[in-house]
Amino acid sequence: MTPPAPKAPVEDSRWERVLLLAGIVVLAFNLRPAAVSVGPVLDEITSALGMSGAVAGVLTTLPVLAFAAFGALAPELARRLGLHHVTLVSLVAVVVGLGIRARTDEIWVFLVASLVGLGGMATANVLLPSLVKLHFPRRVGLLTSVYTTSMAVGLTFASSLTVPIAEQTGSWRWGLFAWALTAVVAALPWIGLLRHDRTPSPEPHTITLRQVARTRLGWSMALFFGLQSLQAYSIFGWFAQVYRDAGFSATTAGLLLGVITAMSIPLSFLIPSFAARMHHQTWLIVGLIACYPVGYLGLILAPVAGAWAWAVLVGTAASVFPLVLTLIGLRARTREGTAALSGFTQSVGYLIAAVGPFGMGVLYDATGGWTVPLSVLLVLVVGQLAAGLAVARPSYIEDSVRR
């Protein structure tokens, strides 16, 4: 059966393309601070608000729950309202949610405001591959490199600068509020892009999440993404505490977490372009994931002596994330296919990932240490590798849906 020809790329003026590129970069920068800025000051937040360990576990799990819930809604919202309108609304939600949670003294308000901000972050996160496919269809690898690098920079800044900002201002609240201000800046280009929005009309060939759910490719991508995100959000949510329990100060613990996230900056720029030029990504996947076992074992056996080396290795392994985002674009022929595959992969994937940060907290409470939680993450690397190998060779979601 002959596949339908891909749609012609959207023709943008030079000014529109510059504005789109700037908008994508600043949007990507703001897609992680809402989630990772809590970890470095988690002790201060729980003390100030009187949170129990269980509530803190819910707080660290909220990012993946938000990704799962709002990620599933993003493709349909974009189809009905337009990619650019939904992107702007998502950033406004980030600003409002992060701003309110930094000022409240009520636990429930803190959690609800966090969910609002994280929901905006999750929605925009799912839309990014579609924006790239729509406006830069022949530069998927390059543009994915650009936005995942910007995402890595935002992630690193939020991980390593939240504590210094809190210390300089005298309050963890300002450490969190700073990232609401960067989201305000990120929203500005998208205001200028609203009048150029293309709101897609319903089409007979639109691919639904239910159709993707009937394919092996869809589930393999979701499992690969989910186990990758489980590892990543366990790291973002708890590794600052792992380092503090090992005897490091809050500042040094934040810097060590910053090293993990900083590794993704150069790798996020190199990996997508490299992966897009490869016929299959098998050895790239194997090479990255192989760094996890070494880093985790090192952290279990010598958490202080080799802390910086283990941080580098874990950060290298966590750079599977930009590769997964690249594969979403490479495993679809059309923008509609990209949106459906992205929505299914990320919504189901983050449901899987939700087990990670919550499970880390439960295992820590049950055992009183980090050896068992880290050992469980080590075992889950095997499943992540198997899922990665299943999507390493070329295939397309449109072909899988037709079959």
In this prediction, residue 80 carries a pLDDT of 81
Concatenated DSSP letters of 306-330: THHHHHHHHHHHTTHHHHHHHHHHH
Mean pLDDT, rounded, of the chain: 86
Q: Assess whether pLDDT exceeds 60 at residue 205.
A: no
* Closest residue by Cα to residue 124 from 92, 99, 159: 92
In this prediction, residue 82 carries a pLDDT of 82
Query: Are 103 and 180 spatial neighbours (Cβ–Cβ below 8 Å)?
Result: no
In this prediction, residue 7 carries a pLDDT of 46
Give the Cα separation of 377 and 75 in Å (integer): 31
Give the Cα separation of 176 and 331 in Å (integer): 37
* Closest residue by Cα to residue 232 from 292, 160, 163: 292
* Closest residue by Cα to residue 231 from 288, 179, 170: 288
> Which carries the bigger pLDDT value, residue 379 or residue 56?
379
Question: How far is C-alpha 220 from the chain's CA centre?
Answer: 18
The pTM for the full model equals 0.76
> Which carries the bigger pLDDT value, residue 378 or residue 71?
378
Give the Cα separation of 157 and 265 in Å (integer): 11
List, in order of start, the domains of the chain with CATH numbers.
14-195+207-402 (1.20.1250.20)
Select, from the ranges 34-48, 190-204, 308-322, the one with the highest average predicted confidence (pLDDT).
Answer: 308-322
| Token pair recorded at residue 348 | 């189901």
Work out the number of other CB atoms within 10 angstroms of the CB of residue 312: 17
Q: What is the mean pLDDT of residues 259-282?
A: 86
In this prediction, residue 185 carries a pLDDT of 92
In this prediction, residue 4 carries a pLDDT of 42
3-state secondary structure of 256: helix
Q: Assess whether pLDDT exceeds 80 at residue 157.
A: yes
CA 11, 1, 280, 235 dihedral sign is positive
Query: Are 174 and 166 spatial neighbours (Cβ–Cβ below 8 Å)?
Result: yes
In this prediction, residue 11 carries a pLDDT of 62
pLDDT digits over 92-105, tens only?
A: 999 999 999 998 88
Q: What is the mean pLDDT of residues 297-309?
A: 92
| Token pair recorded at residue 142 | 């390059």
Structure letter (DSSP) for residue 90: H
CA 181, 325, 284, 385 dihedral sign is positive
78: pLDDT confidence band, cut at 50, 70 and 90?
confident
Query: Are 129 and 83 spatial neighbours (Cβ–Cβ below 8 Å)?
Result: no
Give the Cα separation of 87 and 362 in Å (integer): 35
